[in-house]
Amino acid sequence: MPDFDFSEQPDKQAIPLLKNKIYSAPSIFTVENMLREARRQKNLPDGPVPAVCLLDPDGDLVDYLQTTGRARSHPTWACYHTNMVVFTHEEVEFGIVGRVVGAPFAVLVAEELFASGCQLLISLTSAGQILPEGNPPYVVLIERALRDEGTSYHYLPPAPYSYLNTEWKEAITAAWDVPTLPLRVGASWSTDAPFRETLEAIEAAKKEGILAVEMEAAALYAFGTAKNKSIICYAHVTNQMALSEGDFEKGQDMGSQTGLAILSQTVRALLGAKFR
């Protein structure tokens, strides 16, 4: 198989992913209509999800909340592909959807969440270490995400990165209680193919100053920018790509206590702000 020189600029019209993209054009297939049919088929009433929702790709926080009896099923969540549980933490009600892995799935669920009443979406994904910021596990607020996936290109024109809203970044970092939970801020690399993280790709990411590799942030930020939705992505850096045994340790309760601390600090920083 020949190598590809990413410094070259191929004809965009030769790349199917970049063809026929009219970013101002509405979609014929709408999330509202799909949810309408799901409610009809599942005999569900129409009802809102909590204003603050969380994507939990690994599902560890969902499992912890259910095991400890803190979660209950959401009665009107009409997604065909997922279940939602609801829990209260520090007097704030959250909806959480687990095991939403990868850019296409994450944005599909994000579209459904915002169409169902979500006002702020937080994504907490486990991630691999690129530039070391200490020994894993630790938390990175993703301020920009390299668009090495496909979904973001359906929402925004081609560009290297998609970005976190600057005002939200400043609000979070200004209010964050670092002694309670250290926070790094930096770039991630969103990939659709985790088992194609080659040495060459990793070295290129390091030269870009990228801290972690994950699978959802670039697409979620692109969707948020295109549709003016409030989305904040964190990377819980838990591994060094299993290059040695004993990797992927997340901390107490499989990282659930860290996840709850992230929710506390994020909502404390943004509560009362205009989410959209």
Domain residue ranges of the chain, discontinuous segments joined by +: 48-270
At 222 the pLDDT is: 98
What is the four-CA torsion angle of 87, 176, 107, 93, rounded to 10 degrees? 20
pLDDT digits (tens, 9 = 90+) for 19-63: 999 999 999 999 999 999 999 999 999 999 999 999 999 999 999
Q: Give CATH for domain 48-270.
A: 3.40.50.1580
Distances (CA, A) of 96 to 57, 83, 109, 178, 251: 10, 9, 11, 25, 20
Among 266, 100, 102, CA closest to 183: 266
Whole-angstrom distance, CA of residue 108 vs CA of residue 106:
6
- Residue 7 pLDDT grade (very low, low, confident, very high; cuts 50, 70, 90): low
pLDDT digits (tens, 9 = 90+) for 168-217: 999 999 999 999 999 999 999 999 999 999 999 999 999 999 999 999 99
